[in-house]
Amino acid sequence: MRENYIQNILSEKGKIYFISDIHLGAPALKDNREREMLFAQWLDFISDDVSELYLLGDIFDFWFEYKKVVPRGFIRVLGRLATLTDKGIPVHFFTGNHDLWVFDYLPREVGLKIHRMEFVTEIRGKKFFLAHGDGLDPEDKGYLFLKKIFSNKKLQWVFARLHPNFALQIAHRWSKSSRLSKMNRKEEFNVKNENLYLFAEKFLEKEWIDYFIFGHRHRMADVVVKDHSRMILLGDWINNFSYGVFDGEKMTLKKFERETS
């Protein structure tokens, strides 16, 4: 009874948090344990006032579940997420292009709500368009074809027949060759030329959205698309250590600073 009472108060007065692109376990990065501990620290930081949490994709650099085996590691993060869901706090997990092979372990054991597609929802009177951000550009034929392959049930069945050590080795080799390994290279960034910005502009022609929230690009941005409609790019936890928070009135993009005490 007391937990339900507390949760009702949080749902009315608590904050809604958004985060993406943690890339836990990325073989292209050398600070995985440090970043995992920092992310766990952030989950502790928000635990007192969070009423809903949205994990908008690529939380893991790679994830695949066998019937009896799940990837090694991440116990600090999974434990804290389970603590939130045990309290009745909704935690939404959007599959990204790196962790789309999520099946039933995370929802059953950790209590996460899995989303495989973008969707529109209303939060305290505001309309949100939520997505990882991959696959929204219809002109990106190569990526859309690749995502279709990875979503193929037969391919997943074949991959599941591989020994986990061998399968994860293949996955980590692929990850090392991905855009993540090239993150330190400078690239020109004009948010209004971004495909996600152009997508938001076009979407507003048929439906009003107060906030478009995306991950995927590893960039931070908070820009007006039209009138009071805004697009938020959440950044990442490789260089920015950033997240979004909505308090019921205002949406803010922030960076998390490590506790030093």
Enter the pTM of the model.
Answer: 0.84
Measured CA to CA, the distance from residue 228 to residue 206 in angstroms comes to 16
pLDDT in tens, 37-89: 999 999 999 999 999 999 999 999 877 777 777 777 899 999 999 999 999 99
Which residues, other chains included, contact 63 with Cβ-Cβ below 8 Å and sequence gap of 6+? Answer: 71, 98, 99, 101, 102
Could you give the CA distance from residue 194 to residue 26 in angstroms, rounded to a whole number?
A: 25
Which ranges of 98-152 does DSSP label H, i.e. alpha helix? 105, 141-150
CA distance 18 to 126: 15
If DSSP codes are grouped into helix, strand and coil, which group holds residue 29? coil
- pLDDT higher than threshold 60 for residue 181: no
**For a pLDDT cut of 70, what percent of the chain falls above it?**
75
* Residues 17 and 245: beta-carbon distance below 8 Å: yes
Cβ neighbors of 138 (< 8 A, separation 6 or more) are 144
> 93 in helix, strand or coil?
strand
| Full set of structural domains in the chain with CATH | 2-255 (3.60.21.10)
DSSP assigned state of 23: -
Beta bridge partners of 113: 92
